[in-house]
Structure 1
Amino acid sequence: MYDKLIDHIRHNVCGTSIEKQIIIEYFTPKLFEKKEHFLKQGYICKLAGFVIDGCYRNYMLSTEGKEVNTGFGFENWWLGDVSSFVNQTPSLINTQFLENTTLLTITAKNHLDLLEKSQCFREYTSKLRSKATTASVVKLSRLSESAKIRYKVLLEKYPKIQQRISQRHIASFLQITPEALCRLRKSEIS
């Protein structure tokens, strides 16, 4: 189980000798059930998690109380609200599991301790934050594109998303109705 995390660190921080034993002692495996929440809006994010197996969605509540999906995560992804986790402030997002999911979790305190003890983990965390910032900018720039293009990009990036995520959740993420998504899917087939 820990090997997936270590492999992910090695893949992202090339050429760095990894302090495997130091790193794994800070993580705790946890199992979550489908539909269970990892984090709720308004609460402080106490844990960050690395997905070993399973998937999740991030969503916000609109002013009308409607759930709006803002992203999905799968194996080898991290989850948690970074701002809430680091600053210990209320989260702006909800995170819910869409499948039974296994995580390696770390507390905010252990995360800080590990950053001090492991140069490799510091570099890894820095690289992930940089990638996340870039991904956020790209995601924002895509909002001006048509739903058809956003859907095509989503399928290219996550070819198996339709087997794991409901059409309702995908439609919410694309900011279209499920009926509009159905029409897009039909046009992709023909």
Structure 2
Amino acid sequence: MVRGKVHMEKVQDPVNRRVTFCKRKTCLLKKGKELSTLCDAEIGLIIFSPTGKLYEFASPSMRRITKKYQKFGASMGRHIPLDEHLERLRSEVENLQKQMADLEKMNKYMNGEHLDLLNFKELKCLEMKMNSGVRKIRWRKGKFIQEYIRCRKIEEKSLELENANLHKKIGRSHKACKFNIDIREEVNNKLETDAAIQQDLTKTNLILTLFS
């Protein structure tokens, strides 16, 4: 079975997002281990979950990988201290967590939950966003309906054409049957006529025989 194309965008449902993270995290760690074993590569993977939990894989060791990375960065003129790099990663994780929390709040508001926490201005802004979303949904729904109607019209025309062809075939079949019936009647009539003539000839020959 061919796997469908995956859209690269954030998974909105929290449960599906956790399941997706768990599956892809496991796959990434497994691929890193396979690459290290098959190709004798030195690999270091650091993963922070949306909740801030750390997952890592290193071959042969994370200390050796980080030292080698710092050495390589220094040789390229872009040395990044490990502490600074980790602090930057923590800051990015915190920002992502904040964004995720904001999105989860907005999702609850869109579902009509915890609306008592919003003031009038925030409710008005939420209403405008929802109205905009509804208009987009209706527009997209209209496009689907138009496409559905177009496909049904094409199928209708195809069926009408097929029906007309069948009627033509039936008409030709009826004409052929009538022609065959007329031929049979004509042959039967000719046979009856020939039989009558034969019978008259027989009677004539008999009379001639009696008078001769």
Q: Same fold (TM over 0.5)?
A: no
Higher relative CO (Cα under 8 Å, sequence separation at least 6) belongs to 1
Higher helix share: 2
**Structure with greater Cα Rg:** 2
Q: TM-score, normalised by structure 2?
A: 0.24
Higher strand share: 1
